[in-house]
Amino acid sequence: MDATPDAEAPDWGPFGRPLFEDPEARALSRVGVVDVGSNSVRLVVFDGAARSPAYFYNEKIMCALGKGLSDTGRLNPEGRKRALAAIHRFQLLAHGMEATPLTAVATAAVREAEDGAEFVADVERVTGLKIHVIEGNQEALLSAQGVLLGWPGSYGLVCDIGGSSMELAEIAGGTVGKRETSPLGPLKLADVPGGKKGRKAFIKEHVAKLHEKLGEQRNRLFLVGGSWRAIARIDMDRLGYPLHVLHEYRMSAKAIRDTAAYIAEQDPDALRARCGISKDRMSLVPLASEVLTEVVRSFRPHDIAVSSYGIREGMLYRQMPQKLRDRDPLIEACRFAERKDARLPGFGRTLYEFIQPLFRSAKPERIRLVKAACLLHDVTWRAHPDYRAEVCFDNATRANLGGLKHSERVFLGLALLHRYRNKREGTHFEDLYDLIPPEDQLQAEVLGKAMRFGAMLWLDRNADIGELRWFPKKKVLELRLTEAAWPLFGEVAASRFASLAASLGAQTDIRLRA
């Protein structure tokens, strides 16, 4: 069957038509970027779903280029050697992956070091790669645009910490506003004289300057950078939090204070082993926690979210046409998955339209998850039937997807789990279910069972299979099948429909549509 989207087929309403046939989107199918930071050097190659980054390759080398920079004014000599070797490797890898030319940027350490230009020239001479040394406000812009890649239309303050600097940028309605940079990277803080007292005064002084320039910022605080992610991992460890996905992990101001105290009282080696943090990174975490505590105390955000997207994703975002930027990253990623892995690409839309009456009164954020589930309902069909439901849940909750809160990951995972089994008990994911309230667990069950039933009415991706009618006050679920679909309503389909009705507490009315 031809799986190419029909140009005349109806679109998904407010979500718009899929963009995979758009030449501008296809041109972004493989993009390689190199980020030469003060602490690490990283290559990321994005592939596939252009609007939602699929990480084809991701490698990081901890080089500590900025170590000792405050004292010597020069890049760390050993770090220079390691960074040059890493970039040479990255250039060769990218060529083999057909991800060249690479886009490469260097941040605070290289722009501040007196031998920074010399290092950039060495890299170009040895590898042929041109590194663009960006200013602090450009760094802040890229980090903020990386956040917008995952959260289109967000409001708040993006806080990106590197080894030698920390940048702040405000975002509102999908655009980046005021931006500021500061010398609050942990490698630089390690060289501040006066011990902890001197460091505390230094941090307080520079955060106060940032607050004065940026004004009140009481919306969400988005945390970008490896040191922030390490603190989030430790917060998860402190709380025994069951879903170890850093992107969109939420913390409160109190949690930041409590975790800073927790870090101070724990044995660093035992803590980093437990949380999977490298020794080099762990050495910076206590300093970074002092900065974060002061930032939160000064700006008083209403909540705090960890972003795995930052400068590298911002570099991808800058290469996107605006119409691609405006798309929902979750929906585009799910469309890509359906097109690539489903047995009948395009049937997800038919399934969505069929079960949508069950969610007629749902809010837009819930309808979005219903749509995503329908697109993903068949992408794990290759998994062994005994494990298919758990594979679905695992994929939804742990996949590298943007635009999903943790509670939404669990809702989506439960819906897909119920796509393949009636009961959710007896899996090794049960500790995650309580991240959403019981009423949402039931809604996910209804969605999953509706997809489980609807998948039995598999004709053509554009076929008219009939309609569901749901009367919640009367508790009546009506099924009106077309003549073409009626023969598909066999024993298994009837059993699945009965299971859906039972979850709704409904009586059923099944008829051939006139």
CATH of the domain at 242: 3.30.420.150
Which strand ranges, in their side-by-side order, compose the sheet holding 466-471? 466-471, 476-481, 507-512
Q: How confident is the model at residue 37 (pLDDT cuts 50, 70, 90)?
A: very high
Residue 406 has pLDDT above 80, yes or no: yes
Average pLDDT over all residues of the chain = 91
Out of 35-49, 90-104, 406-420, give the one with best mean pLDDT: 406-420
Residue 11: inside a domain, yes or no? no
- Identify the domain containing residue 59 by its residue range: 20-134
Residue 221 has pLDDT above 60, yes or no: yes
Between 6 and 408, name the one with better pLDDT.
408
d(CA 497, CA 414) in angstroms, rounded, equals: 18
Residue 9 has pLDDT above 60, yes or no: no
Strand-pairing partners, residue 304, are 221, 251
Residue 318: inside a domain, yes or no? no
Same domain, 30 and 120: yes
Residue 155: inside a domain, yes or no? yes
Strand-pairing partners, residue 176, are 171
Same domain, 352 and 500: yes
Domain count of the fold of the chain? 3
Determine the angle formed by the axes of helices 195-214 and 285-299, rounding to 10 degrees: 40
Q: pLDDT, tens digit, for every residue of 321-354?
A: 888 888 899 998 898 889 889 999 999 999 999 9
Tokens of 69: 């920079």
Domain boundary pick from 97, 116, 134: 134
Same domain, 273 and 167: yes
Cis before 5 (ω within 30): no
Q: What pLDDT shows up at residue 89?
A: 97
Residue 268: inside a domain, yes or no? yes
The pTM of the full predicted model, rounded to 2 decimals, is 0.88
Residue 6: inside a domain, yes or no? no
Share of the chain above pLDDT 70, in %: 94
Q: Quick one: DSSP state of residue 356?
A: G
Instruction: Give residue 510's Cα distance to chain centre.
Output: 42
Q: What is the CATH number of the domain that holds 484?
A: 1.10.3210.10
Residue 321: inside a domain, yes or no? no
Q: pLDDT, tens digit, for every residue of 140-158?
A: 999 999 999 988 888 999 9
3-state class of 267 per DSSP? coil
Same domain, 365 and 435: yes
Q: What is the CATH number of the domain that holds 128?
A: 3.30.420.40
Q: How confident is the model at residue 400 (pLDDT cuts 50, 70, 90)?
A: confident
d(CA 31, CA 47) in angstroms, rounded, equals: 7
Q: In one letter, which amino acid is 46?
A: F
Residue 45: inside a domain, yes or no? yes
Tokens of 443: 């809604």
Find the radius of gyration of the CA atoms of the chain: 25
Same domain, 176 and 257: yes
Residue 26: inside a domain, yes or no? yes
Residue 33 has pLDDT above 80, yes or no: yes
Query: Which of 59, 49, 44, 55 has its CA nearest to residue 29?
Result: 49
Mean pLDDT within 433-441: 96
Mean pLDDT within 115-125: 97
Asked if 299 and 211 count as a contact pair (C-beta separation under 8 A), the reply is yes
